[in-house]
Amino acid sequence: MFKIKKKTERQKPPVLYNVIEDYSEFDAPGNVTACATTLPEDPAIHAKVLSESYDIPLERMMNLLTEGGVYVYPNVEGLLTRGLFACVTKETSGGPKQTFVLDVMQFADTELLARSRSIPLLDAAWEVFRRTLPPELKDKLDQKNLGLDYRTLDRAVAKGGDIKYIDFRKDWSPHFKRLCIMPDGRLVETGGLEEFSRLHGITTAQAKLLVEQGGTLDVGDEVLACQIINGQPAVARFSANNYNKAKELVASKRVHLMDALSEVAYADPAMMRGLIRKELSGAP
C-alpha cells in the first residue's frame, strides 16, 4: 500500500519592509536608509532580524521593541568601540516606532546632553540622532507617513494604512534578499550589494548605482536592467540575444530601452516563468 504524501506549502519569507528611502549618500553620521512598513508588525521576526543585525541579545531586543529604550554596547577590553542602539516608541516620537544606532561620537554627545539637561538617555539620543539627518529626511519625519502620497503608491503598500515602524539602517543585512531574474528564467537571490556584484561580475560601486537609480548596465554582451518600484529595485539580466532584440526594437519603434527590454522579457517563455514566480513569491 502506497502512502500519498501531502504537498507542503512553501512558506513565504517574512516581509520586513515595503517602503525604503535611501539617504546613504549623505555625509556621515546622517547617512541612513529609512526602512519602513505599512504592514502589521511581527514582533518576533522584527526582533530576530534586528538582534542578528546589531549583535544584541534577542530577549533584550524584544524588550526594546515593546517598551522602547537604549542598549549601550559594552566596552571591549576597556575601550568603547560602538555607541548605542535605540528604539523610540510612538509616545516619544509622536509618530511610528523608530529604531536607530549612534556611533561612538554621537554616543558621547548624547551622554553630555543627557547630563547637561538632566533628561533621559533615550530622549538625548533621539535629539542627537535627528540633529544629524539630511534636511529632506528631517522634513519628512515631521509629516505623517513620511509625507508619502498614497495615491501614487502600489496598492499592496497603500492598503496597509499608516506606517507602523521605521528602522534607520546603516547596512544591508543578509536578511534583505533581492531576486534577480536570470536569462534562463532562474530567480537568483542575493543578500547585499557585495553578493549582488559578485554574482554579476561588476564592481560594488556599479551595483550601488544601478539599484539606487535604476537603468541598464552592460555586462559583457549581456545587460542588467533595474526598475525602481516603490523605492525598491527590481532587477533582471538579459542574454546577448535578447539584448540585441531590445536594441532592434529601440531602433524600429523608437521606444526607450527599458520599455524594449520589458517587451522582450514578456515575449521570452523562460523569463516569463521567472516573472510569474517572482510575482507569486511576493518578493520586492
Q: What is the mean pLDDT of each run of 10 residues along the chain (284 residues)?
A: 50 72 84 90 91 89 96 80 89 86 93 96 95 93 88 79 91 64 87 82 89 89 84 83 95 93 90 66 47
Given 3-state DSSP classes, what are the helix, strand and coil percentages for the chain, each rounded to the nearest 5? 45, 20, 35
Residue 46: its pLDDT value, please? 93
**Does 1 reside within a domain?**
no
Rounded-to-integer distance, Cα 140 and Cα 184, Å? 42
Residue 231: its pLDDT value, please? 53
Residue 173: its pLDDT value, please? 56
Instruction: Work out how many domains the chain is built from and give that number.
Output: 2
Residue 12: its pLDDT value, please? 56
Residue 243 half-sphere exposure toward CB, CA atoms < 13 A: 17
Residue 73: its pLDDT value, please? 92
**Does 161 reside within a domain?**
yes
Q: Write out the residue range of the structural domain in which residue 36 sits.
A: 19-169
Which of 169, 190, 221 is where one domain is finished? 169
Overall pTM surpassing 0.75 (yes/no): no
Task: Decide if 45 contacts 16 (C-beta within 8 A).
Answer: yes
Burial of 31 (0-12, 13-18, 19+ CB in 10 A): middle
